[in-house]
Structure 1
Amino acid sequence: MLNLCKGSTEQELAGLCSVLDGQAVAGTVPTRAAFSKARKGLSDKLFSHLNRLAIKTFYRGWSTPTWHGFRLRAVDGTTFRLPPGEALERAFGAQRNGPTLARGSILYDIGHDLVLDAQVAATCVGEYELAIEHLAHAEPGDLLIYDRGYPAFWLFALHRHLGIDFCMRLSRSSFAPAQAFFDSAERSRIVTLNPSAEQRRACRDQRVPAEPIRVRLVRVTLRGGETEVLATSVLEEERLPARLFAALYHQRWSAEEHIKRQKRWAEIENFSGRSPLAMRQDIQARILAMNLAAMVRNVAQLLAERRFAHRRFRYQVRACSTLSAMKDNLVRLLLGDGEQQRRLLERLVLHLASAVDAVRPNRSFPRQNPGKLKPGFHPAYKRVA
């Protein structure tokens, strides 16, 4: 499940056993039924636990990039298109028209391209509820960046209660002070939000104090002239002037790009089973595999930056090349002895340090067919090679 499986179960098992045996063709291969039976005894929580352990280990030996003293994190939601089946419909809710969907959400480390926490739930569970789960994996010193679907008084209060800073995009109707700020010409303004009776009830439900909150509103003007208003808990104008927030909020886009990579390159919706447990296992295992690949990519990026320091543009290691290189090699890295692991890791890093693209500033690629359901994967027609 960690081997970035995309083909049929039979093909993937044969390929894995050939890697383990060190032979072109494996001598003994487990059957699909044996794999299906064995996975029933494996909790999907194992992969999220291993993910936290891997990240903790990685952070101990790696410097954390910061933005004006903050560790940047992004929260973003998505949906996963599930294969047909009554068990999945019962677990995640049947859609009136269209395929069965599951709701997903990630807490994303922008500086390292790592998913710190991934949540999967039925579509009746909102993004707010999943965002609350993410906060258990954030800490003071983090600055969490949210899109415009998240702002709520109780969520502001919860961040303040936990000592975690935030930056959220507001809609015009979010709060009365936001409406007035939209109509003004100010770049930045500190306002006090007083909770309504409904907002007080929401705070009580979340067990956070329903006290007035001071937030800072910042105006951001996009290239096309569109205006966005952000609300942040960072009130110091001298520390973070308003002109910095356009670039800050743009960094949230990397979380959306990571979700695209999950679905297109890692094929996270290409499930190896049709039970709710198999679906959760596959999603969490794929995220762990992508994180391990990102850790190798981070090392290769250091070498690439030194190798191409004399060039006009900055060069970055391609994420697609990293995922391709990790197929089968991830198994070898996890199961080899210390010396084999070291030699293989060195070869991978040297190879990836040359698999680079130039980063050209001020490039943009508009979304194609935004909002339309993209093609999924049919369980009966997976790739055979």
Structure 2
Amino acid sequence: MKIVKKITNKLDCPVFIDTYRQRPQDFTRRRQLTFKNLVLFLLNQPRTALQTELDQFYRVLNQSSVETQVVTAQAFSKARNKLKPEVFADLNQHLQQQIDSLGLRQTWRGLRILAVDGSTVHLPLEQAVTRFFGSHCEFPVARFSTLYDVADGQTLHSLIVPFQVGERDCAHLHLDHVPADSLTLFDRGYPGHWLFALFEQQKRHFLMRLPCGYNAQVRQFLQSGQTDDTQLFTANHPEARLFCTEAGVDPGRPIRLRLIRVELPGGESEVLLTSLLDRKTFPADVFADLYHRRWGIETDYRRIKQTLGLDNFSGRSVTAVKQDFYAGQLLKNLALLMQHLLQPVIEQRHKNRKLRWKANFTQGVSRLKNTLVDLLVRPCVLGLSNVLTLMASSLSAVRPGRNFERKRKRAASRGCEGYKPAR
């Protein structure tokens, strides 16, 4: 309840409003679409016809028994241009600070486990959107990237950028938001000496998968048959040295890193690279399972794209795309936080069952539709308790280690089969 009130207080703060309005004269006149109402409406994830969504929103906001047309869709489209999309990113940072202060973070051997990955999303077919974000195969596409806490599913920092911006460039931008005493997981698309050097410079730790032919050192390590070795890495290739210079790190400085071989069930070997050099605290046999936890960020992208319907934007402008993206990240974090707080209750209730159970994310987000608006406008312990009770009654079994071939009975359709969007 404290976190809900903190967010509400932010939306009523004149300094906060002034920071995230486009012009000083915006949101100064007394209208129905105030700064706070506009933020709440976008956080409510409008995915159907705008006029229908607006009528439902104001019915909840005004505690009316029937729907009436208080604001038109045209008025909303005009008002949203007054709001900076970064308002939702700021609210998310505030949410993460509240989670930190409450001591809700989980650690692995004293480290928080994070992951970074990127993806793409198709955008509305508008020339202005194409000019800003770029295109792929003649369709407007944006790249987005997230810094993700694998333990609780929280997105700590997110970016939506032009398609031409690479995933490794996004990783550089995430680095300022990586907390101390953490370990960041990367897949094999990220290795680069300049990124190794930046992590060392910031005194942060990483674990990433290397392509088997990454360089001569990696090939020799594979041929040696060793499972664990510490070596010095330098930027020998001219392109690697150029990247180091552009990133502001010394290309001639060697970096001591650790190579770890992992044998896969199919008989193949993969190579992991990490800055964790202490073999006693971090023995080689713990890294295979640790790297597998990176899959959580892939699952998170399924939530964002499928359940939250990322590509179903509520507007057709650059501003609308950014607003929907950042608002979706904040809504997802709020839903996962509630489910995280519920988990001990669920486990206690079902401790005698064979499988572990958790709250169903799609049902959880659906329960927040319109209800979250009411909670943020009129914070109420009873209302929050009712939402949590509904979330706790919609459960999914956790079945770890499942590995089977997917058999499709028909051609794949658009989206992810078996996963339903939220209401």
Tell me if TM exceeds 0.5. Answer: yes
Residue 14 of structure 1 deviates from its aligned partner by 1.3
8 A Cα contact 1:148 1:170, kept in partner: yes
- 2:179 maps to a residue whose letter is E
Q: Note if contact 1:18-1:25 (Cα within 8 Å) is conserved in structure 2.
A: yes
Contact 1:193 1:215 in 2 (8 A): yes
Equivalent runs, 1:148-297 vs 2, <5 Å: 148-196=188-236, 197-210=238-251, 211-297=253-339
Q: What residue number does 1:63 align with?
A: 104
For 2:166 and 2:83, how far apart are their aligned partners in 1?
27
Deviation at 1:176, TM superposition (A): 1.8
Q: Distance in 2 between matches of 1:54 and 1:194?
A: 40
Match of 1:375 among 400, 414, 422: 414
Task: Name the counterpart of 2:360.
Answer: 318
Residues 181/365 of structure 1: CA separation in 2 closer, same or farther (3 Å cut): same
Q: Note the alpha carbon deviations across 1:303-340, whole angstroms, 9 max, x for none.
A: 11222223332222221221111111111111114xx2
SS of structure 2 residue aligned to 1:274: coil
Deviates further, 113-122 or 2-11: 2-11
Residue of structure 2 equivalent to 1:99? 139
Q: Does 1:353 align with 2:392?
A: yes
Hey, what's the Cα distance between the residues in 2 that align with 1:102 and 1:241? 40
Give SS of 2:258's match. Answer: strand
Change (3 A) 1:85 1:365: farther
Give the Cα separation in 2 of the matches to 1:120 and 1:164.
Answer: 24
Residue 169 (structure 1) shift? 0.6
2:76 paired residue among 35, 57, 68: 35
Partner of 2:403: 364
Residues 154, 336 of structure 2: 8 Å contact kept: yes
Of 264-273 and 11-20, deviating more is: 11-20
Q: Structure 2 vs 1, CA of residues 165 and 373 (structure 1 numbering), >3 Å: closer, same or farther?
A: farther
1:191–1:216 contact (8 Å) kept in structure 2: yes
Alignment match, 2:347: 305
Q: In the alignment, is the contact (CA less than 8 A) between 1:115 and 1:287 conserved in 2? A: yes
Structure 1 residue 218, shift from structure 2 partner:
0.9
> 2:198 is matched by which residue type in structure 1?
L
Aligned pair in 2 of structure 1 residues 80, 242: CA closer, same or farther (>3 Å)?
Answer: same
Q: Could you tell me how far apart the structure 2 residues matched to 1:154 and 1:138 are?
A: 17
Task: Specify every segment of 5 or more residues in structure 2 that has no aligned partner in the other structure, as ranges.
Answer: 1-41, 416-420
| Cα separation, 1, equivalents of 2:147 and 2:262 | 24
2:130 aligned residue: 89
Q: Give, in whole Å, the separation in 1 of the partners of 2:257 and 2:412.
A: 37
Superposed, 1:44-83 pairs within 5 Å as 44-83=85-124
- Asked if structure 1 preserves the Cα contact closer than 8 Å seen for 2:194 and 2:247, the reply is yes
In 2, Cα distance between the equivalents of 1:366 and 1:286?
32
Give the CA RMSD over aligned residues.
Answer: 2.0
Contact 2:209–2:272, Cα closer than 8 Å, also in 1: yes
Question: Does the aligned pair in 2 maintain the 1:9–1:272 contact within 8 Å?
Answer: yes
The answer to whether the 8 A contact 2:149-2:155 is kept is: yes
Contact 2:99 2:105 in 1 (8 A): no
Q: Structure 1 residue 367: deviation in Å?
A: 7.1
2:230 alignment partner AA: I
Question: Deviation of residue 368 (structure 1)?
Answer: 8.4
CA gap 1:162/1:348 in 2 versus in 1, 3 angstroms: same
Work out whether residues 143 and 166 of structure 1, in 8 Å CA contact, stay in contact via their aligned partners in 2.
yes
In 1: Cα distance, 2:283 partner to 2:338 partner: 35
Is the Cα–Cα contact under 8 Å of residues 299 and 349 in structure 1 kept in the other structure?
no
Q: Per the alignment, in what secondary structure is the counterpart of residue 43 of structure 2?
A: coil
Q: Distance in 1 between matches of 2:329 and 2:59?
A: 24
Gaps of 5+ in 1: 377-382
- Shift in Å, 1:180: 1.4
The 2-side partners of 1:67 and 1:29 are apart by 51
When residues 62 and 308 of structure 1 are mapped into structure 2, their CA distance, relative to the original with a 3 A threshold, is farther
Q: Cα–Cα, structure 1 residues 366 and 11, in superposed 2: closer, same or farther, change >3 Å?
A: farther
Q: Deviations over 1:235-261 (max 9, x none)?
A: 111111121111111110010100011
Contact 2:50 2:73 in 1 (8 A): yes
Q: Distance in 1 between matches of 2:99 and 2:76?
A: 31
Deviation per residue, 1:271-302 (Å, 9 max, x gap): 01111111001100111111111111111112
Name the aligned partner's letter for residue 256 of structure 1.
E
Residue 176 of structure 2: aligned partner = 136
Give the whole-Å Cα distance in 1 for the aligned partners of 2:329 and 2:51.
22
User: Which amino acid counterpart does residue 305 of structure 1 have in structure 2?
Assistant: E
Counterpart residue identity of residue 144, structure 1: T
Q: Higher mean Cα deviation, 191-200 or 252-261? A: 191-200
User: Using the alignment, how far apart are the partners of 1:368 and 1:172 within structure 2?
Assistant: 30
Tell me: CA distance 1:45–1:248, structure 2 relative to 1, closer, same or farther (3 Å): same
1:169–1:229 CA contact under 8 A, matched in 2:
yes
User: Hey, what does 1:379 align to over in structure 2?
Assistant: none
| Residue 225 of structure 1: how far off its partner (Å) | 2.5
Aligned residues: percent identity? 36
